[in-house]
Structure 1
């Protein structure tokens, strides 16, 4: 799937739309349209058919209007993509979490994981130049607050939330691709595994690949597949948090 990039639109127009500082002003605009309606329809298209299907024309068809009607409200697809991402980021819960920084970061990771399951197209949107909208900004503020006051420098705080986001993105992509593989092939992971396992045992020399044979067999028996994305997410998240704990412990002065 082709990767799309945020931050590719006109900066002034994108920011005005993201922060809603200037709504549609043209008298030619349709009274039954709005930026929010267009963004909502675009998200529905991406959720249903994937990011590759997202075009201004498809969004217009979903709304039952002419394509040119959209341009009164949104300049183009680049700005629309920024709006879509900022909108879905607004779905993540940001409650006060008891239990310290680790519990807060774990909750943030799980919210991100759930967001990717709801909107798999997000996995194919590169955000190295993020849309600087209100929801993206609020999410960044909230995530930073999870590690505020624990002894990290500002750059380390930024690096920690970037690490969590990058880890969840990779883990979620594996999970989404595994789910899509079943949908597109009509074969579950378990069915795939048991179809291949007998033949693999005949062609692979376990004496030449002893570790692959032993560990691969144990994993296959445990998961009924080559891997288990949910288990991988849980295992990896704990290890990432352990690493952050080590960093924080190094910053904490010893008790006298």
Structure 2
């Protein structure tokens, strides 16, 4: 469930923080900085979830008073924007990706998938008003280059990138939830399935649910779990790229 929204801070202050145009120089090596505060905030969100994030909690992690943070960061809204832009800078952006535009989009999708797994709190942030920082802009530039020159219009290029990002956002939820369930219960998906599958086989009448019994049994045996989010992601990604390829071919054919 979304708990926070990006772009809620003061625009001028957020942009100044994102682009570091007004950061005060440090008087001593141990003084606070925007980077230190943001890194601590990301560590809090990674370890405890976004609901635990507050200026007070970040100050505790840094071992300083809460009010000292406000010298560098106006508030939580601006802090969240810089956190987002900072983690967006983590995605690899290789120039030589095999497979043409399909390979490039697949690489972008997999990097985004991995980013969500590293920072599950990203799923709790609505970014329809994105933080317009240097890392986000650089990432967008890189993603657009993946489909530049293949016959799409500028708007179609933007739509394709949005489509891929939206697909990853939806697909990765299952993987994040599975990882969190394993962490909180101490039981892997395979262990859970092995504990439940024998009882399900006894309880479910295959004559009443013939397709569910047949397909569910085949999938359970294959996955050794109720689902395989990573496998589903790869399957869906290839089908998504197939659909984009139809559009590309139509544009190249003059459609």
**Structure 1 and Structure 2 fold alike (TM over 0.5):** yes
Secondary structure in structure 2 of the residue aligned to 1:62: helix
Match of 1:9 in 2: 9
**1:67 equivalenced with 2:66 (yes/no):** yes
Report if aligned partners of 2:192, 2:225 keep a CA contact under 8 Å in 1.
yes
Q: Which moved more, 1:195-204 or 1:173-182?
A: 195-204
CA displacement, residues 159-190 of structure 1 (integer Å, 9 cap, x when unaligned): 11011111111222110100111111222212
Match of 1:233 in 2: 233
Match of 1:163 in 2: 163
Match of 2:34 in 1: 35
Superposition pairs of residues 1-256 of structure 1, within 5 angstroms: 2-24=2-24, 32-96=31-95, 97-253=97-253
Whole-angstrom distance in 2 between the partners of 1:141 and 1:161: 11
1:25, distance to aligned residue in structure 2 (A): 7.4
Secondary structure in structure 1 of the residue aligned to 2:79: helix
Whole-angstrom distance in 1 between the partners of 2:195 and 2:201: 11
Runs of 4+ deviating beyond 6 Å: none
RMSD, aligned CA:
1.8
Report if aligned partners of 1:6, 1:131 keep a CA contact under 8 Å in 2.
yes
1:199, distance to aligned residue in structure 2 (A): 2.1
Whole-angstrom distance in 1 between the partners of 2:30 and 2:175: 41
Secondary structure in structure 2 of the residue aligned to 1:33: coil
Report if aligned partners of 1:7, 1:131 keep a CA contact under 8 Å in 2.
yes
Report if aligned partners of 1:30, 1:69 keep a CA contact under 8 Å in 2.
no
1:26, distance to aligned residue in structure 2 (A): 11
CA displacement, residues 80-119 of structure 1 (integer Å, 9 cap, x when unaligned): 0000000010111111124311111111111111111211
Report if aligned partners of 1:2, 1:52 keep a CA contact under 8 Å in 2.
no
Report if aligned partners of 2:7, 2:77 keep a CA contact under 8 Å in 1.
yes
Judged with a 3 Å threshold, the aligned counterparts in structure 2 of structure 1 residues 30 and 13 are, in CA distance, closer, same or farther, namely farther
Whole-angstrom distance in 2 between the partners of 1:30 and 1:74: 19
Q: Which moved more, 1:67-76 or 1:198-207?
A: 198-207
Secondary structure in structure 1 of the residue aligned to 2:149: coil
Whole-angstrom distance in 2 between the partners of 1:8 and 1:46: 18
1:2, distance to aligned residue in structure 2 (A): 4.9
Judged with a 3 Å threshold, the aligned counterparts in structure 2 of structure 1 residues 71 and 252 are, in CA distance, closer, same or farther, namely same
Report if aligned partners of 1:175, 1:230 keep a CA contact under 8 Å in 2.
yes
Report if aligned partners of 2:2, 2:126 keep a CA contact under 8 Å in 1.
no
